């Protein structure tokens, strides 16, 4: 561990204020209070691997966060004082605090630098703006930062966090809708996370326009950040979501295909879309209604001409296996005798100017006032209004325009917010407005909906995963937007948000047939799967692109439904460890340089075992990289070695998808919606691999909160490669499985015909596993050579609740 030296210091100009030297230190339980010549500092351990740093040039104020929901756990700490430094330690980290001038460095217990301030720069203020400068380490990479465009590795780039209504944004535009000021740094086989919990406009620089530092700062408020150290990127994400919370279990129907456009109306058109999906046997679970369902765009109304009886319509949709999600915007139309406006005014819930007049801006209904979601009163008012939607049979709430968006897109800075009693202007409250709107929608739906609600948002702040899914807003029907959308979703996953999606086909513009076909294929391997397009575009339901694309959509949406046991289990695991369903390869292969190569940076894992290789629709060939391991083509069973680059011949009707050796992939029979029960056999695909694997499988009723009191079925499946065994552990939970039998399908086991199950020799038979229906009339070879023949063996066993051991040798 080194002592930092400042070379040739020069006096700072009066406009720049540095902390100066340490003049006083006080131990406080699991931390230190430090006074420097120009600042007040607190260092505290939240866990052995998480250290919080608070700094201000004024005495530290109220300790409050919209993002962090957990306090420090009991952690053993100690500190020592030396001539030039203080060393604050946990079991996992040493934090070295230089005295002259003050700076911070984080070390491993064996003395390796994980992260350190730039000597002589550290943290400083220019007016109210505060910035911390971190020394760039050799070959350091940066990933995450939420919904940010650009490359997977953010080295050399800079970003701003300021939630923005970004209609038809460019594929490299910044900022866009949401702000998650959390990133992960990697170097020398070390990784760490930094979460700047500051709701002001913030700035992140990862070596942009300089070769010395990365930096993060905000236009006001404290320098308040959490330093997270871990052995793996997955550990960093888990620790971050321990701080900011994890997603609740979503309703199962929300994981099925959702059909939307801006807008479906009247009710007869909504029903026509639903009936056509059923007639064409395109599985689907949701219909989403945009702003035209409302009376003149006024919230908590239905247009009586277009939707004369919304309760009846929603019941009819439900009878066909559809659930309804409706859009809500925060703007309440200023209109005499409009109930929501009159009630909001009477209960004093709207944000105001300093002179007491409500802030008024134009949105879809015209001039509007806006509830203050940063106040308990405003949130409670909104929660009560959600009862209206519940009463009309709605199952999902889509929060839109909540940046706050308005015509002109320039909200004045002097608007006042309650900020949960502390008071704030637009400058401090803007970035959390959407988070608190989603919170109010979620809490209101929990109270008034009969079952688990689905909540969607366009904007948000760190911690949004506790309440809502998020989609990437008004994207374009262009190849580069489809690919950029994949990186946005992967980055959100790296930032603790597991339930994410993008508008399939693009919101603005009209996709080509090839682009739509590719996008609907990729969408099957994204967490939230919604087709959507704008009001001034061509219809973009699958059948509008012709018979062949309809068949492609049917195949890939159908595959999505067959994979629902795998997908739902992955969502359950996200509620436990914060790891996303859609995983950048940087999570599992953090120090493999190839995964950051711009040729391969879009590749990702869907859940723990399925590798998706996305390519633009115009490409006839694609460069692919297969990381360490053994990989099986999902559709043909072809084996691909890891640590290899390949040129793939691309097919218009087939997305390259592979399964990692050692993976266990549960599947079910094809259904048309989650309201339909699958057949009573769970198909357990087991892929021969080179290393051990533990997979957690999960079921519940998919609708209620009964799982919180034990009404669930969970068991671990173990691929014990070292001992040649598959172990289905004893089930947990009070619920019986939905499946009476388990069909074991063994991939890659060659000519091996006999296995031992619970000590009894069992003969496996060759099996035919068609993952996609061949499109023989369009392609004589079929969309895929169905997985059959050599290396594929199957056997059906009773689904016992007790442990089952399958011997492989």
Q: What are the angstrom distances between the C-alpha of 243 and each of 67, 465, 723?
A: 8, 12, 38
Which residues, including other chains, have CB under 8 Å from residue 266's CB and lie 6 or more apart? 305, 306, 307
Are 219 and 200 a contacting pair, CB within 8 Å?
A: yes
Measured CA to CA, the distance from residue 188 to residue 87 in angstroms comes to: 23
Nearest to 193 by CA among 515, 618, 578: 578
Hunting for tokens 């131990």 — which residue is that? 27
Number of other residues whose CB lies within 10 A of the CB of residue 512: 14
Backbone angles phi, psi at 241, to 5 degrees: -75, -15
Can 801 be counted among the known catalytic residues? no
Residue of 147, 267, 285, 400 with catalytic role = 400
Write out the H or E segment, with its range, that includes residue 274: helix 267-279
Residue 771 in tokens: 């993952």
Are 455 and 445 a contacting pair, CB within 8 Å?
A: yes
Hunting for tokens 């739906």 — which residue is that? 445
- Distance in Å from the first CA to the final CA of the chain: 50
Residue of 117, 174, 474, 551 with catalytic role = 474
Residue of 203, 383, 403, 699 with catalytic role = 403
What is the 3 state secondary structure string of 368-430? EECECCCCHHHHHHHHHHHHHHHHCCCCEEEECCCCCCCCCCCCCCCCEECCCCCCEEHHHHH
- DSSP label at residue 296: G
Residue 264 in tokens: 């479906």
Nearest to 538 by CA among 508, 514, 504: 508
> How do beta strands 102-107 and 94-99 pair?
antiparallel
Number of other residues whose CB lies within 10 A of the CB of residue 137: 17
Measured CA to CA, the distance from residue 231 to residue 219 in angstroms comes to: 33
Which residues, including other chains, have CB under 8 Å from residue 559's CB and lie 6 or more apart? 524, 771, 772
Measured CA to CA, the distance from residue 767 to residue 254 in angstroms comes to: 32
Are 303 and 293 a contacting pair, CB within 8 Å?
A: yes
Measured CA to CA, the distance from residue 599 to residue 258 in angstroms comes to: 31
Can 767 be counted among the known catalytic residues? no
Nearest to 521 by CA among 540, 500, 497, 549: 549
Q: What would the DSSP string read from start to end of 476-543? A: BSSHHHHHHHHHHHHHHHHTT--SEEEEET-SBS---HHHHHHHHHHHTTSSEEEE---TTS---SGG
Hunting for tokens 């259904």 — which residue is that? 671
321-348 burial, b for 16+ CB within 10 Å, e for fewer? bbbbbbbbbbbbbbbeebebbeebeeee
616-650 burial, b for 16+ CB within 10 Å, e for fewer? bbeeeebebbbbebbbbbbbebebbebeeeeeeeb
- DSSP, collapsed to helix, strand or coil, labels residue 563 as coil
Can 63 be counted among the known catalytic residues? no
Measured CA to CA, the distance from residue 199 to residue 180 in angstroms comes to: 10
Q: What are the angstrom distances between the C-alpha of 568 and each of 83, 442, 527, 657?
A: 56, 20, 10, 19
249-261 burial, b for 16+ CB within 10 Å, e for fewer? bbbbbbbbbbbbb
Q: Which residues are catalytic?
A: 400, 403, 474
């Amino acid at each position: 561990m080194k002592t930092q030296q400042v070379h040739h210091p020069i006096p700072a100009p009066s406009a720049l204020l540095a902390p100066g030297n340490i003049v006083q230190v006080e131990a406080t339980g699991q931390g230190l209070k430090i006074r420097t010549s120009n600042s007040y500092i607190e260092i505290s351990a939240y866990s052995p691997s998480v250290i919080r740093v608070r700094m201000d040039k004024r005495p530290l104020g109220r300790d409050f966060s919209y993002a962090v929901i957990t306090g420090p756990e009991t952690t053993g700490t100690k500190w020592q004082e030396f001539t030039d430094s203080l060393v604050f330690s946990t079991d996992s980290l040493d934090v070295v605090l230089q005295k002259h001038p003050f700076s911070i460095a984080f070390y491993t217990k064996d003395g390796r630098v994980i992260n350190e301030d730039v000597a002589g720069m550290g943290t400083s203020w220019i007016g109210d703006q505060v910035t911390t400068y971190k020394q760039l380490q050799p070959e350091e990479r940066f990933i995450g930062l939420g919904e940010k465009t650009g490359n997977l590795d953010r080295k050399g780039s800079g970003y701003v966090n300021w939630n923005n209504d970004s209609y038809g944004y460019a594929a490299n535009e910044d900022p866009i809708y949401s702000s998650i000021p959390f990133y992960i740094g990697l170097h020398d086989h070390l990784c760490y996370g930094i979460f700047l919990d500051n709701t002001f406009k913030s700035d992140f620089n990862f070596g942009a326009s300089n070769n010395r530092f990365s930096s993060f700062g905000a236009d006001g408020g404290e320098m308040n950040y959490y330093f997270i150290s871990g052995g793996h990127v997955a550990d960093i994400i888990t620790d971050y979501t321990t701080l900011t919370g994890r997603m609740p279990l979503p309703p199962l129907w929300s994981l099925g295909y959702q059909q939307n456009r801006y807008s479906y109306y009247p009710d007869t058109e909504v029903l026509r879309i639903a009936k056509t999906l059923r007639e064409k046997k395109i599985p689907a679970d949701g219909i989403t209604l945009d702003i035209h369902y409302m009376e003149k765009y006024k919230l908590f109304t239905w247009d009586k001409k277009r939707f004369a009886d919304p309760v009846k319509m929603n019941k009819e949709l439900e009878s066909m296996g559809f659930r309804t999600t409706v859009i809500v915007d925060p703007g309440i139309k200023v209109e005499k005798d409009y109930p929501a406006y009159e009630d909001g005014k009477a209960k004093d819930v709207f944000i105001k100017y300093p002179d007491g007049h409500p802030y008024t801006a134009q949105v879809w209904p015209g001039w509007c006032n806006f509830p203050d979601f940063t106040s308990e009163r405003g949130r409670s008012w909104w929660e009560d209004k959600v009862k209206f939607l519940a009463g009309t049979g709605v199952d999902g709430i889509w929060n839109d325009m909540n940046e706050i968006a308005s015509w002109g897109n320039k909200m004045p800075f002097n608007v006042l917010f309650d900020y949960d009693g502390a008071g704030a202007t637009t400058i401090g409250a803007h970035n959390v407005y959407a988070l608190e709107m989603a919170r109010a929608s979620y809490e209101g739906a929990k109270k008034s909906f009969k079952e688990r609600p689905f909540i969607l948002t366009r904007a948000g702040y760190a911690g949004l995963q506790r309440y809502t899914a998020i989609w990437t807003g008004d994207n374009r029907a262009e190849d580069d937007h489809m690919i950029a959308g994949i990186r946005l979703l992967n980055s959100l996953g790296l930032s603790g948000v597991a339930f994410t999606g993008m508008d399939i086909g693009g919101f603005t513009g009209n996709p080509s047939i090839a682009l739509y076909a590719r996008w609907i294929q990729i969408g099957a391997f994204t967490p939230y799967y919604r087709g959507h397009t704008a009001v001034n575009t061509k219809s973009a339901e699958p059948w509008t692109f012709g018979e062949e694309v309809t068949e492609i959509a049917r195949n890939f949406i159908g595959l999505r439904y067959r994979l629902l046991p795998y997908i739902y289990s992955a969502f359950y695991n996200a509620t436990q460890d914060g790891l996303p369903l859609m995983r950048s390869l940087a999570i599992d292969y953090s120090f493999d340089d190839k995964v950051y190569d711009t040729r391969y940076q879009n590749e990702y894992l869907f859940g723990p075992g399925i590798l998706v290789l996305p390519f633009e629709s115009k490409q006839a060939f694609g460069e692919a990289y297969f990381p360490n391991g053994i990989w099986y083509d999902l559709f043909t069973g072809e084996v691909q070695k890891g640590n290899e680059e390949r040129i793939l011949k691309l097919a218009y009707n087939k997305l390259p998808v592979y399964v990692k050796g050692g993976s266990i992939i549960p599947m079910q029979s094809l259904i048309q919606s989650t309201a339909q029960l699958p057949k009573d056999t769970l198909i357990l695909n087991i892929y021969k691999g080179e290393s051990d694997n533990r997979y957690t499988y999960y079921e519940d009723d998919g609708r209620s909160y009964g799982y919180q009191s034990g009404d669930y079925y969970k068991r671990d499946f173990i691929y014990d490669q070292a001992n040649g065994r598959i172990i289905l552990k004893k089930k947990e939970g009070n619920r019986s499985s939905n499946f009476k039998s388990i069909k074991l399908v063994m991939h890659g086991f060659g000519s091996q015909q006999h296995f031992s199950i619970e000590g009894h020799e069992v003969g496996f038979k060759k099996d035919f596993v068609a993952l996609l229906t061949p499109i023989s009339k369009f392609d004589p070879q079929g969309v895929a050579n169905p997985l059959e023949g050599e290396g594929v063996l199957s056997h059906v066993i009773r689904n016992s609740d007790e442990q089952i051991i399958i011997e492989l040798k």
